[in-house]
Structure 1
Amino acid sequence: MERFGTLSFGHYGPLGGGRQLTAADSMLQAIDLAQGMDDLGVNGIAFRVHHFARQQASPMPLLAAIAAKTERIEMGTGVIDMRYENPLYLAEEAAAVDLISGGRLALGVSRGSPETVVRGYEAFGYTAEDPRGADLARDHFDLFWRAIHGEGLAERDADSPFGAGSGLQQIEPQSPGLPSRVWWGSGTRGTAEWAGREGLNLMSSTLVTEADGRPFDVLQAEQIAAFRAAWAEAGHPGTPRVSVSRSIFPITTAEDEMYFGHSQEGDGIGYIDGFRSTFGKTYAAAPDVLVDQLKQDAAIAAADTLMLTIPSQLGVAFNLRVVQSFAEHVAPALGWKPTR
Structure 2
Amino acid sequence: MVYKVSVEATDTCVVAQLLDTGIGFVDDRSKSTVWESFDHPTDTMLPGMKLGLDRRTGMNRFLISWRSAADPGTGNFSLQINPKGSPQAFIYWGTKYIWRGCPWPLKSYTDISNVSFVNNQNETYMTYSVSDASVILRVMLDYSGLVRNLIWHEKDGKWNEFWSVPKSPCDPYGRCGTYGICDPHFFSRRFECDCLPGYEPKSPREWNILKDASGGCVRKRLESTLLCGHGDGFVKVANVKVSDTSAAVWASTNMSPRDCEKNCMRNCSCSAYASIDIAGKETGCLTWYGKLMDTVHNGEEGYDIYVRVDAVELGNVFLPSTNFEQNQCV
Q: Which of the two has greater strand per residue?
A: 2
Q: Which of the two has greater helix per residue?
A: 1
After TM superposition, the score normalised by the length of structure 1 is 0.26
Structure possessing the higher relative contact order (Cα contacts under 8 Å, 6 or more residues apart): 1
After TM superposition, the score normalised by the length of structure 2 is 0.26
Select the structure of larger CA radius of gyration: 2
